[in-house]
Amino acid sequence: LRYEVRSGEEGFSLGQATYTWGVAGDLYTLDSVAEATGLAALFTQARIVQSSKGRLGPTGLMPERFSMERNGKRHYSARFDWEGRRLLLPKDEVVPLLDHTQDLLSFPFHLAMTIADEDTAWIQPVTNGRMLKGYRFVQVGRETLERDGKVLQTLHLRGTRAFEGSLEVWLAPDLHWLPVRIRTEDTKGRVTDLKLTRLEN
């Protein structure tokens, strides 16, 4: 999946992100590479690589390892010990591993696999590789987005946490519920908006 990355709703184009999904048996790999392009490349050479690896479980995705690197240097990483119910974070920090815990890369795909009409509000634990946060997700509702000049029906989900920003995803039923838009807002109000531009098999 190839996404255009923008700063803000209709803001400055930052570059592109490529998500690569693979499944072998009950194991999955999900990798993303985000790079500055065009005018943005004149101001930053940032290249962010994220990786999530784990299993396809009875309750959706069960990540086992997550890592994020910026410009070739390891930034954050986390290890999921489902048997011991532990999430291992940097600096030897260990926190309880809650049901359905996801990482920043896997959570939209986990929601795509598990969302049901009766899921109107729930707590979704998400780790960025540095800490674990619980976001209160709700179904905002059905919305239409435009892609390649065509109208696409989507289901909009929003996760919020007091003073901690938000995570949002738009899932497209006609595209196997894949995330066609992913929007994040950090604690400083900075918005990063990913919109699907190309889907390859």
For the segment 136-159, the average pLDDT, to the nearest whole number, is: 92
How much is the pTM? 0.89
The better pLDDT of the pair 39, 180 is held by 180
pLDDT at 152 over 90: yes
Quickly count: other Cβ atoms within 10 Å of residue 12's Cβ. Answer: 12
User: If DSSP codes are grouped into helix, strand and coil, which group holds residue 40?
Assistant: helix
Distance CA 21, CA 18 (A): 10
User: Given this model, what pLDDT does residue 2 score?
Assistant: 95
Residues 36-58 have pLDDT tens digits of 765 444 445 578 899 999 999 99
Q: Where are the beta strands (DSSP E) in the chain?
A: 2-7, 13-24, 27-36, 47-57, 60-70, 73-81, 86-89, 93-96, 102-103, 121-127, 132-147, 150-160, 166-172, 178-185, 191-198
User: Given this model, what pLDDT does residue 41 score?
Assistant: 44
**Which segment of 40-44, 104-108, 137-141, 161-165 scores lowest on mean pLDDT?**
40-44
Distance CA 131, CA 138 (A): 22
Residues in the chain: 201
